[in-house]
Chains A and B, each alone.
Chain A
């Protein structure tokens, strides 16, 4: 936080700012001291803000043409695709935008895991982030139901049925969620309402996420506490704004590639068949961003325990600041953690792959091993590693290893290496 008093230059500005200090806020945001060694993995916060705004704007436009009724939803989506001016473009941006949003959020989350951004004093930022991630999954799931295709319908059936695993009240909860005895029109209309609401809840949480970030300030690739403002920081504007802007442009190229060249590659062909409550598609798979959790669900042969395992896999992340016992934040100075980190990345990718495959034979075996390892990482490896690992010496400041005077040059080299990743 820039603590010095800010006074607007113009008299009007001063008059206004005395009554509502918006200019003070704007000044705080532009001057906000940022660690000067932030690498490109730190640009995904800005990219995610862009994704959220994109989804809200395109979603708003789609809602002007979409009809949330079981008899008309499917046709109204086709109407958007064929009749509405640029409807195809807006819908493809919205549909692929969801995937881009998750791509960016996974990079953002794994960046935090590598550099220990979830550790004290940033636990609240992290937990708000996990809540945002949960809401994103809810919004994505309900949005996928709206076109009322086969995957929409059966995805909705399978996911809402997860609640039936709850003993005693489960069936009652599922009927309540459906507003009937199966997924039908009442389910569709309420999903549309909630799908419209959730992005604004996320927007509110994003404000809290950034507010909580601006209290301790950004973590950085070296993971040490820094004095702000100091030689180790640069003002957010223009330095970080330009860097974030450049990264956003690169990201938009990838985004545009999907929208214009392969707009349906991340979807399922079955969803272009209208919902039929009598026929389940031969192979039900969720969208790619939910596959690792789907694999965990299917790897447990018991219904209730499968649901418990899947939900635990998500909620365990909220406990991460306390499961990781190491005092050192950045993996740059944790040689063992760094290896386990990459094993975890591989493990999650493997879970995602087997989640897309049929749950049988070798795939099932791999899914079980990978699920066991996932929990092992968080519940055993991380807590033990904090006590056992011999960490490398950390520099006293970001500038120190660059300007020399460091007892060893290793940290500087490590930092260089991390920059090139």
Chain B
């Protein structure tokens, strides 16, 4: 390889490799992407829930996209407790107002942000939720206060269709 001059053969090699790489990529991608959520899974993306029976201090758990969603009608004490927390005391600082549009209603994914277990209601050191798997404590706003979970429990996209119905997703 004393001569560095590009000749026809070098060009052909490069072009062949390039086309080959594109071909291999185009063949592999469907094999990988087939494992992503399919159309029938995506079609179940929203759920409507009737919450007329939920009294203050009660939580209902509904299934959305195969995951539990907690809908809790919070008591005044819980709301006050959630609002009184200083942001600097939080691992994942978030105001209660940003988590519950209507302070009475807390709608969040009932999935611990550590490794995905379902936390238990009205347990733990902060009167909120406690994850039995690896010991994460959440407060009355579902914010992480103690334990290995890195973030607050997620708030899904939801809206009140009317005063008795919540649409999640």
Report A's interface with B, CB cutoff 8 A: 154, 157-158, 160-162, 164, 175-184, 186, 190, 277-284, 298, 300-304, 306, 358-360
Contacts and interface: CB of A to CB of B under 8 A. Distances in A.
B148 A182 contact: no
B118 interface: yes
Contact of A303 (B68, B114, B133): B114
B41 interface: yes
A277 B35 contact: no
A278 B61 contact: yes
A32 to B, nearest CB: 41
Contact of A282 (B38, B68, B132, B150): B132
Nearest to B149: A303
A160 B35 CA distance: 14
B117 A184 contact: no
23 contacts: A157-B117, A158-B116, A161-B114, A161-B115, A161-B116, A164-B115, A175-B37, A176-B36, A181-B37, A181-B66, A183-B66, A184-B41, A184-B66, A190-B35, A280-B117, A280-B119, A281-B132, A283-B132, A284-B117, A298-B134, A303-B149, A304-B150, A358-B135
B41 A180 contact: yes
Given A176-B36, A177-B35, A277 B148 contact: no
Nearest to A300: B148
Contact of A181 (B32, B41, B114): B41
Given A161-B116, A278-B63, A179 B37 contact: yes
B65 interface: yes
A109 to B, nearest CB: 27
A280 B68 CA distance: 11
B58 interface: no
B132 A278 contact: no
A278 B68 contact: yes
B115 A157 contact: yes
Query: Which of B38, B63, B66, B110 has the most chain A CB atoms closer than 10 A to its own CB?
Result: B66
B167 interface: no
B94 to A, nearest CB: 18
Contacts of A154: 117, 133
Interface residues of B, number: 28
Contact of A182 (B38, B66, B114): B66
Q: For chain B, what secondary structure do more than half of its interface residues adopt (helix, strand, loop), or is it mixed?
A: loop
B133 A280 contact: yes
B112 to A, nearest CB: 8
Interface string B131-153: 11111000000000001111000
Given A179-B38, A182-B66, A306-B148, A360 B135 contact: yes
B101 interface: no
Contacts of B134: 298, 359
A284 B66 contact: no
Contacts of A282: 132
A181 B63 CA distance: 11
A284 B41 CA distance: 28
B115 A162 contact: yes
Contact of B150 (A158, A298, A303): A303
Given A303-B149, A359-B135, A180 B66 contact: yes
Nearest to A179: B35
B63 A277 contact: yes
A157 B134 CA distance: 13
B35 A303 contact: no
Contacts of A304: 150
A275 to B, nearest CB: 11
Nearest to A281: B132
Query: Which of B38, B115, B135, B147 has the most chain A CB atoms closer than 10 A to its own CB?
Result: B115
Nearest to A158: B115
Given A301-B148, A360-B135, A186 B41 contact: yes
Contacts of B148: 298, 300-303, 306
Contacts of A160: 116
Interface in B48-92: 61, 63, 65-68
Contacts of B37: 175, 178-181, 186
Contacts of B131: 280
A360 to B, nearest CB: 6
B46 to A, nearest CB: 12
A368 B44 CA distance: 43
Contacts of B118: 278-280
Nearest to B68: A278
A283 B148 CA distance: 16
Nearest to A160: B116
Contacts of A183: 66
Contacts of A178: 37
Nearest to A174: B116
Given A179-B38, A280-B133, 12 more contacts: A160-B116, A176-B36, A177-B35, A181-B66, A184-B66, A186-B37, A278-B68, A298-B134, A301-B147, A301-B148, A358-B135, A360-B135
Contacts of A283: 132
Contact of B67 (A181, A284, A358): A181
Contacts of A302: 148, 150
